[in-house]
A = this chain, B = another copy of it.
Amino acid sequence: MSAIQFSVKASDGNARLGAVRTTRGTIRTPAFMPVGTQGTVKAMLPEQVRATGADILLGNTYHLMLRPGADLIERFGGLHHFMNWPRPILTDSGGFQVMSLAALRKITEEGVSFQSHIDGSKHMLSPETSMTIQHKLGSDIVMAFDECTPYPATHQVAKESMELSMRWAKRSKDAFGTPDRQGLFGIVQGSVFEDLRKVSVDALLDVGFDGYAVGGLAVGEGQAEMFDTLDFTVPMLPDDKPRYLMGVGTPHDLVGAVARGIDMFDCVLPTRNARRAHAFTRRGAINLKNARHREDPRPLDEQCACVACRSYSRAYLHHLHKAGELLVHTLITAHNLHYYQQLMAGMRAAIGAGTFTAFQKSFEVEQAAGDIDPL
């Protein structure tokens, strides 16, 4: 039996309400996974992340293999113990970041050889090494090693890249040695081309995975093209496995992708933007750098129950930002993650009640209603 179990409890249109059960706890879907790149969700204690409603975190294989190193984390009992997060963790394969961050990278059939962006040390990431590293990290969900096809790509380039990823997917499954303790997800590639996505899905289904991710999106194609790609790709995926849209996205992206049948998401937006004083709210974005907040006694959102909105005015947050105080990162990150988790909870409730279309409309109306700063 697989280490992870997925069940769909209700659906509304293409949107699905479900749960991914792991040995470390249940992930309510649709789920948003905060990103803890280097063994921490930036500026947050794990208990603060949990308080926002997160069931699962994402860790980055590329960063962790370089610093502090997978062997060290394994000796510390795995990433959960090292970073003090006892709940589920998904690790990516390193495939995306080795191409975007590493120096002197060289891609071959074997994998990607590269030099660390930190100290120039030489490393190799391949399906086999990625599985070994993710095993040492001890994550609950392991991602197959793939190449994230750059955008835009010609059909021929996208085809060759996808085919390489499918050969790597098979090697990932072959090298994956812990189906009793970890789940393994495959990643659909094929850029924005329907025929390639179909070939990719079929290849992955032949191998067989515990879940299916849609990769190669949120790489510059724009929301319309992303949604178009989901429109033809998601129906190709099996109903009885979780579907994970990697690296997405804005609140609008999440709602639109859930409407198209996606169950899981990760994105740095709520955490990274928080550190730029950019808050996400029901009523759109708020840029706390803006001087109009200087004397504003209101919280970011009167209806929000996060630690920032319960006790702090926009004027205080603006002051912390102007004064360069670290606390502002903690407070806005907590707010943004809370907003994202509330958005997911709202979608789950709406799917369960069969009112997802109404939820979508009211989401759009609220987002457009105002209190919007330009980013």
Contacts and interface: CB of A to CB of B under 8 A. Distances in A.
B40 A327 contact: yes
A312 B46 CA distance: 11
A108 interface: no
A106 interface: no
A72 B322 contact: no
Interface stretch (A75-83, A109-117, A168-176, A188-196): A75-83
A39 B329 CA distance: 15
A39 B316 contact: yes
A342 interface: no
A345 interface: no
A122 interface: no
Contacts of A307: 45
B84 A327 contact: no
Interface in A72-116: 72, 75-76, 82-84
B84 A315 contact: no
Contact of A43 (B68, B297, B316, B326): B326
Interface residues of A, number: 35
A28 B136 CA distance: 49
Q: Main SS of chain A's interface residues? A: loop
A316 B42 contact: no
Interface string A299-342: 00000000100011101101110110111011000000000000
Contact of A295 (B72, B83, B84): B72
Nearest to A75: B295
A44 interface: yes
Interface in A109-138: none
A252 interface: no
A326 B42 contact: yes
Contact of A40 (B38, B76, B320): B320
A321 to B, nearest CB: 11
A294 B68 CA distance: 8
10 residue pairs, one from A and one from B, having the closest CB atoms: A43-B326, A84-B311, A68-B319, A38-B323, A40-B327, A40-B325, A42-B326, A82-B316, A326-B329, A67-B323
22 contacts: A39-B325, A40-B323, A42-B326, A43-B326, A43-B330, A45-B307, A45-B330, A67-B322, A68-B315, A72-B294, A72-B295, A72-B315, A75-B295, A76-B313, A76-B316, A82-B313, A82-B316, A83-B316, A84-B311, A84-B312, A326-B329, A330-B330
